[in-house]
Chain A
Amino acid sequence: MNVLGFDTSTAATAVCVARDGEAASERWPEPEALSGPPGHARELMPAVAAAMEEAGLGFGELDAIAVGVGPGTFTGLRIGVATARALAGSAGVELRPVSSLAALAAGAEADPALALIDAKRGELFAALYEAGEPRWGPLAAAPKEVAARVRESGTSPLAIGDGSVRFRGVLEAAGIRVLPEGARTHVVRALHICRLAATALPKAPEAVLPDYIRSPDAKPR
């Protein structure tokens, strides 16, 4: 099974072409990319084209396109989802949405895993995974609230993701272990988007939307 997968839920742009669950070509950004300015619009399609070429595949030879639908940066998610939908529609390939937090947790090499993506405005997009299954989340909450939920769940997970790096102080003070800074697994890996897609159900492209979690910040007059 040939799958093209990508994720744009953080400032990094991750892309992978997987053949039967193994990377035929992968762009897995360095952790520095998480704190840099997002460049999804400039980076995503060149990375997709390069990965396809390196894997020696045309779009028509794909069995599925998989996209990380967040939660994460709204603009980044829209770039990823708009790209995935149009590629799938134009090439006639099925589309499978995957949770970006689940893909992040899949790369943790720890169980349970607390996947945390920076939600800005002092909050985290969070989900706790045990044996690959979500215990709770995804949700948007302040770091202290996330720590309280972890305590309630009675587990001691390893926290990963750009959100865990950002709020390391609060999390560690609450007794939560955080993956060391600079570890590459803080970056959502598109290989895991591809792997999770293998068990995800295909959806009509026009029905695939980002998992924003948060409502737009606007009040009726």
Chain B
Amino acid sequence: MILGIETSCDDTCAAVVSDAGEIRSNVIASQGLLHSRYGGVVPEIASRHHLELLDAVTADALERAGVDLDEIETVAVTRSPGLIGALLVGVSSAKALAAARRLPLVPVDHLHGHVVASTLQPDPIEPPYLCLVASGGHTFLARVDSESGYEVLGQTLDDAAGEAFDKGARLLGLGYPGGPELDRLAREGDPEAFDFPRATPGDLDFSFSGLKTALLYKLRDEPDAERADVAASYQRAIVDALVSRTRKALDREGLRKLAIGGGVAANSELRAAVEQLGVPVWVPPPELCTDNAAIIAAGARFLERVAYPGYLDLDASPN
């Protein structure tokens, strides 16, 4: 049984996952609303809350899983990338928890966690596959030949897709979190009403910063434009960019399976669009798309366990 801990951004997470990839518990304490008043995640506030919440979140994960700390055989923790002060809370806690019991520890790359989210039960994907991860913090396409790693084929050169959703929602005067609100409004609009630019940087990369600027100008120049139409057209531009690159990557790499992950995977238009790509698609449930510790424990299953005392000097890394 693996205990996973994740504190890389603003969600304090712990989960218990079996070696076979069954999720026994997956607890997420979100600080999202707290940071919304500051217009973004404040690292010091996030770090303080992680420390306040982590022990209770971990205890909750064990209790919901119906296991005792004695039944935990491995501790997995996000080591990078993320906010360094936030990561250090999870890393320090995980190291001490493991060391007091001489348990092995597995440091996990947060992005690797997103990439292997679909390898969890009940319908685990098997490599090789293409994975599209799109969230407020990351947007990339990865080739997965073995669950123990991944090869980044393309990534965003500026904003993440989730950031484009959040910033767009803010410009449209929508509530927080912006992505779901924009998704809802877009359903009432005409996605063909306006033509937003599709930036096509080299190869399989993404760029979303120009799109946000285009939206700013659109709202300024046409203040009377139907907001649902604007939202729908803006969302279409983001989804088109994601799907066109995904299609290109599938073709170029000769891959026949697709997994998507990250918070943007919850977007209804993106979900519908990837189903049209002609390959089987794995879309994890929402709680496995956003940041969580079950995917960190999932990643640990495929990595080498560092035996005590080899991990005592483990440090976190922002990138």
A binds B: yes
Residue of A43, A75, A86 with most chain B CB atoms under a 10 A cut-off: A86
Instruction: Closest A residue to B53 by CB, please name it.
Output: A206
Asked whether B312 lies within 8 Å of A45 as measured between CB atoms, the reply is yes
B88 at the binding interface (Cβ < 8 Å): yes
Instruction: From known contacts A86-B92, A205-B55, A221-B37, infer whether A42 and B315 are also in contact, taking CB-CB under 8 Å.
Output: yes
Q: Chain A: how many interface residues by the 8 Å CB criterion?
A: 34
Beta-carbon contact of B97 and A43 below 8 Å: no
In contact, A89 and B99 (Cβ under 8 angstroms)? no
| Distance between Cα atoms of A89 and B85 in the complex (Å) | 22
Q: Is the CB of A209 within 8 A of B51?
A: yes
- Answer yes or no: A154 CB below 8 A from chain B CBs: no
Interface majority SS (helix, strand, loop, mixed), chain A: helix
Interface residue B44 (Cβ < 8 Å from any Cβ of A):
yes
**In whole angstroms, what is the CA distance A81 to B309 when docked?**
20
> Which residues on the B side are within 8 Å of A43 (C-beta)?
313
Q: Roughly how many angstroms separate A195 CA and B95 CA in the complex, as a whole number?
A: 26
Number of CB contacts from chain A to chain B under 8 A: 102
Is residue A46 contacting chain B, with contact meaning CB distance below 8 A? yes
Contact A83 B51 (CB under 8 A): no
Interface residues of A in 103-124 (CB under 8 A from B): none
User: How far, in Å, is A13 (CB) from chain B's closest CB?
Assistant: 11
Distance from A61 Cβ to chain B, minimum over Cβ atoms (Å): 12
Task: Please determine whether B101 and A90 come into contact, CB atoms closer than 8 angstroms.
Answer: yes
Q: Is the CB of A87 within 8 A of B96?
A: yes
Judging by beta carbons under 8 Å apart, are B313 and A42 in contact? yes
Asked if B56 CB lies within 8 Å of chain A CBs, one says yes
Bitwise interface map of A from 43 to 59 toward B, beta carbon under 8 Å scored 1, else 0: 11110110000000001
Distance in angstroms between the alpha carbons of A79 and B94 in the assembled complex: 11
A125→B224 CA distance, assembly (Å): 56
Q: Which residues of chain B from 61 to 104 have any CB-CB distance to chain A below 8 Å in the complex?
A: 69, 84-85, 88-89, 91-101
Residues 32-89 (chain A) with a chain B CB within 8 angstroms: 41-46, 48-49, 59, 74-75, 78-79, 81-87, 89
Task: Please pick, from A42, A46, A205, A218, the residue contacting B44 in the complex, using a CB distance under 8 A.
Answer: A218
Please tell me if the beta carbons of B85 and A82 are within 8 angstroms of each other in the complex: no
Give bound CA distance, A219 to B38, whole Å.
Answer: 6
Q: Specify which of B48, B85, B99 lies most central, judged by the most chain A CB atoms within 10 Å of its CB.
A: B99
- Per-residue contact bits, chain B 88-128, to A (CB 8 Å; 1 contact, 0 not): 11011111111111000000000000000000000000000
Q: Answer whether residue B27 sits at the interface, using C-beta atoms and an 8 A cutoff.
A: no
CB pair B52–A78 under 8 Å, yes or no, is: no
Residue of B nearest to A210 (CB): B51
A84 to B55 Cα, complex, angstroms: 11
Write the nearest CB–CB distance from A181 to chain B, whole angstroms: 30
A218 contacts B38, C-beta separation under 8 Å: yes
By the criterion CB–CB under 8 Å, are A79 and B92 in contact? Answer: yes
Closest B residue to A52 by beta carbon equals B99
- With A75-B85, A205-B55 as contacts: A83 and B44 at CB distance below 8 Å: no
A44 to B96, CA, bound (A): 10
Pair A74/B39 contact, Cβ less than 8 Å: no
Question: Is B309 touching A46 in the complex (CB atoms < 8 A)?
Answer: yes
**Is A45 a contact of B69 with CB atoms below 8 Å?**
no
**A218: min CB distance to chain B, Å:** 4
Cβ contact within 8 Å between A220 and B313: no
Q: Name the A residues within 8 Å of B59 (CB-CB).
A: 206
Q: Are A82 and B96 in contact (CB under 8 A)?
A: yes
User: B90: shortest Cβ distance to chain A, in Å?
Assistant: 8
A14 to chain B, nearest CB (A): 16
| CB–CB A81/B51 < 8 A | yes
Query: Which residue of B is nearest A217, CB measured?
Result: B44
Q: List 16 A-B contacts (CB under 8 A).
A: A59-B100, A75-B84, A75-B88, A82-B54, A83-B92, A84-B96, A86-B92, A86-B94, A87-B100, A90-B98, A90-B100, A217-B44, A218-B38, A218-B45, A220-B37, A220-B38
- 10 pairs of A and B residues whose beta carbons are closest in the complex: A86-B96, A90-B100, A216-B44, A82-B92, A45-B312, A91-B100, A218-B42, A206-B55, A86-B97, A221-B39
Taking A45-B95, A46-B312, A74-B85 as given, write out 16 further A-B residue pairs in contact, using a Cβ cutoff of 8 Å, ordered by the A residue number. Answer: A41-B88, A42-B314, A49-B99, A78-B88, A82-B54, A82-B92, A82-B93, A85-B93, A85-B96, A87-B99, A90-B98, A90-B99, A90-B101, A206-B59, A216-B44, A221-B37
Binding site for A on B (CB under 8 A): 37-39, 42, 44-45, 47-48, 51-52, 54-56, 59, 69, 84-85, 88-89, 91-101, 309, 312-316
